[in-house]
Amino acid sequence: MSDDATAFVPGHITGFFSAHPDDDPAVAGSRGAGLTLSHGVTVTVEPAAESVVCLDGEVVEMPPVADVLQRLGVSATVRAESELPLGAGFGVSGAMALGTALAANSVFGCARSENELVTVAHEAEVRAGTGLGDVVAQARGGMPIRVEPGAPAYGRMDGIPARPRVEYVAFGGLSTAEILSGDTTTLTAAGEAALGELRTEPTLERFVAESRQFARDADLLTERVEAALEDVRDGGGDGSMAMLGETVFAVGTGLSDAGYDPESCRVHAAGATLQRE
């Protein structure tokens, strides 16, 4: 058992999705597609008598992280440093849950496989209502397509073979829990349609176009997001909205060309990884 362990988990922007709830949190999940980001969350786990979770130096309540520690039967101090804002559609809570699972497994010698750790983190996210598809996407890296929902034993993944530069501007948060607990019929129909289209042509361009169509059809665009997307299109670029946050993303230099001052990163080649051992 080493003193501590650190994992890096890429951020994840979902472009479109359909919700597939189930009583079994390993079966529950979402279908859809997104981008994992080279900007992400670094999670360090250190054994402690009582579990405490810190995000960027502040003690926070983070039910999925507490759940992961409990399921692994350990108590620890979890320190997360995030390059991405919480609650704005970047999968920060999923990243914290998955990073905690990987780092705790290493530091406490839990001897779980990667699929087992992904399952523990996925279930914790589903139970907390904070996400349905981020964890499996963040475990994979790249531009993940969630072909079938759920943890690795149930889900099925594919990917778009592209690794573009990504720009984003986060205006604010949207409550994932609130939207997922409401009526998701329209959203899910739009998400299923987008996935069908993307699978006929799994390219970056089609992903962005289907994401834009989904945001409109699912009626999730806010005024600020709609205006920014119009600016990006006027500037000759293309982008869409991060699900679920008041966040606009564009590929290449779409947002900076449109006069915005975005953060920029790339699609991340790898999934969540231990930093050192």
What is the rounded distance in angstroms from the CA atom of residue 89 to the CA atom of residue 53? 21
Nearest residue (CB) to its own copies, 6 versus 30: 6
Question: Which of 22, 258, 17, 3 has the alpha carbon at shortest distance from 153?
Answer: 22
**Phi, psi (deg, nearest 5) at residue 61:** -85, 120
In whole angstroms, the minimum distance from the beta carbon of 220 to its own copies comes to 26
- Compute the radius of gyration of the chain from its Cα atoms: 18
Q: Which residues bind its own copies (CB under 8 A)?
A: 102, 105-106, 109, 111-117, 141-142, 145, 152, 158-164, 199, 201-203, 269-271, 273-274, 276-277
Q: State yes or no: cis peptide before 244, omega within 30 of 0.
A: yes
Nearest residue (CB) to its own copies, 107 versus 174: 107
In whole angstroms, the minimum distance from the beta carbon of 270 to its own copies comes to 4
Nearest residue (CB) to its own copies, 65 versus 86: 65
In whole angstroms, the minimum distance from the beta carbon of 97 to its own copies comes to 15
What is the rounded distance in angstroms from the CA atom of residue 11 to the CA atom of residue 120? 18
Residue matched to tokens 């996935």: 195
Nearest residue (CB) to its own copies, 162 versus 193: 162
In whole angstroms, the minimum distance from the beta carbon of 264 to its own copies comes to 15
